[in-house]
Structure 1
Amino acid sequence: MSPFPLPTERLMLDQPTDADVDTIAGFCTDPVFERFMVTPWPYEREHAVGFVDEYVPAGWAQDTEWTWAIRAHDSAPLLGVLSVRKAGGMVGYWLGAPHRGHGILPEALGAVIDAVFARTELDRVRWECTVGNLASMRVAQKCGFRFTGEHTGRIPARDGSPILAWNGELLRTDDRTPKPGWPDGVEA
């Protein structure tokens, strides 16, 4: 699969480049990443180089994972990253700390969901996060995912051990309005 850009009203989702390496490395040192993400820890510049130069291109070339840089517009600095693993339709996303709380991820994730349903035969998109990651949960809820419970995650911890995860799914036939049934304290 060749990478393709996804424009939205305010954003451009395109490919991470070597120019993004230092930004990625800086964002991924946020303690939130240690607590809630499975990215390497401590995160170092070499991890960002491998992500941009090897991991992302391999996912596209093998048509196993589509990954985009989230930007405010063409060639703008990187705000975050969003990807979908095609086997099972699992989405993953993050934003750099200065860009959180501005509605960026729901807008970007909506575009990715549209692309998945337009370009694949997948009947659902899945989401999971480490229990307690309220920010990730709010994004999924805003995008119309249905909460499917707290289970062992499909993606293991850095050390390979299981993670207790919140899970959700959005069916191809679902509308994108927030659904009831989320844990207390989480509102779209």
Structure 2
Amino acid sequence: MKQLVYLFLITVLFSCGNKNNDTQNKNQVIPKLSNAVEHTRLENVKHKFEKEIENWQDLKTATSFIKKFEKVSPNEAMSNALELRDLVASLKDNEIPKTFNIPSLHARINVLHNETLRLADLTLIPAITSEEVNAQINKTIAAFSSLNSKINTILSKKNFEDAIDVDINFVGIDSTKMDSVSIKTINSRKREELLNKNKKNK
């Protein structure tokens, strides 16, 4: 009889020990998903170019929203992932200002959209880890930074070309090595010069 009592006590103690271990493991996982983490800082469009994008509302809205992800917990990121995906989808599908409507910029928007889709997909994985969520947040912010960097490059080039005041007919340029922004600028200047000459002749 005593042996049965001892066996029962040992079983109960062992069972309680396992429950305590399970509780400790859960308590270790939950804080990781709830702890806010500093992520990659977003590269912004330069302040001097803000006027050039002031009417691009989709970009401004998506930029404002993604800044929330610079310091965020995995749980918070997951709760905002679907909205971020939808904002970037609007940026991708809606009209893009003429200055930025070039293939290289569209490519960066597509990459950003794909990263937001991956982030949103993580919300469907029950056993997702904080490390996996944090890594995808960094990839998403990096893709947005790449988009902003391209915008800065386009506007810097545009400003440089606008500042050049030379007769382009006397400049030797290999048109096959120019991007669409440069070609558009030169063609626009040629049209202006032609119109001015016609006005003078009249």
TM-score class normalised by the smaller sequence: under 0.3
**Of Structure 1 and Structure 2, which has the larger fraction of its residues in helix?**
2
Larger Rg: 2
Q: Could you state the TM-score of these two structures normalised by the residue count of structure 1?
A: 0.27
Q: Could you state the TM-score of these two structures normalised by the residue count of structure 2?
A: 0.26
Q: Which gives a bigger RCO, structure 1 or 2 (Cα 8 Å, sep 6+)?
A: 2
**Of Structure 1 and Structure 2, which has the larger fraction of its residues in strand?**
1
